[in-house]
């Protein structure tokens, strides 16, 4: 019997249960917002937040039965409810920060130009003759 007062909801934090599971078998329908962790072989209840607790998790509109159905190790097969399972970006996966990369590139280019200008202005004029 399922205690309807304690059904997992997506706004809880991620937590690992003590319940064992087989990663090659779909989870039982009583587990909602859950997946089978392939490393620990335990059922994990997924929160509805990204890896850093910020935005909501990234969903892929692909149905699945087990994690391997998602065809990408970054995605997990999460049992939502009533037998519906979808691929969700793993909370263990830290996405690349392309904004930080572009910021670093911008600073690097600006520093290069400033360095060239300093070398040209501080070089004795006799070098250019």
- pLDDT at residue number 97: 58
Question: Which distant-in-sequence residues (6+ apart) come within 8 Å of 10 by Cβ?
Answer: 33, 46, 47, 48
pLDDT band for position 9 (50/70/90)? Answer: very low
Closest CA to 40 of 12, 67, 59, 62: 67
**Would you list the domain boundaries of the chain?**
4-89, 98-128
Note the maximum CA span of the chain.
92
- pLDDT at residue number 86: 86
- pLDDT at residue number 129: 59
- Mind listing the pLDDT tens digit for each residue in 35-51? 888 888 998 887 765 55
- pLDDT at residue number 22: 92
98 vs 120 pLDDT, higher one: 120
CA distance 36 to 18: 11
- Kindly report the average pLDDT of the chain as a whole number: 76
Question: Which distant-in-sequence residues (6+ apart) come within 8 Å of 49 by Cβ?
Answer: 11, 13, 55, 56, 57, 91
Q: Quick one: how many helices (H) and strands (E) in the chain? A: 1, 6
- pLDDT at residue number 112: 94
- Mind listing the pLDDT tens digit for each residue in 48-104? 655 555 556 666 778 898 988 988 888 888 888 777 888 888 777 665 655 667 778
Its pTM stands at 0.58
CA distance 123 to 129: 12
**Cα atoms in the 13 Å half-sphere on the side-chain side of 123:** 11
CA distance 22 to 27: 8
């Amino acid at each position: 019997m399922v205690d309807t007062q304690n059904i997992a909801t997506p706004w809880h934090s991620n937590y690992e249960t003590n319940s064992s599971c087989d990663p090659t078998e779909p989870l039982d329908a009583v587990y909602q917002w859950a997946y089978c962790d392939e490393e620990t072989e335990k059922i994990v209840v997924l929160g509805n937040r990204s890896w850093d607790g910020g935005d909501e998790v990234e969903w892929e509109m692909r149905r699945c039965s087990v994690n391997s159905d998602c065809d990408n190790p970054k995605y997990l097969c999460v049992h939502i409810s009533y037998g519906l399972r979808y691929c969700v970006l793993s909370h263990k996966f830290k996405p690349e920060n392309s904004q930080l990369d572009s910021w670093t590139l911008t600073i690097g280019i600006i520093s290069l130009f400033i360095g060239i200008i300093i070398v040209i202005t501080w070089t004795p004029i006799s070098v250019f003759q």
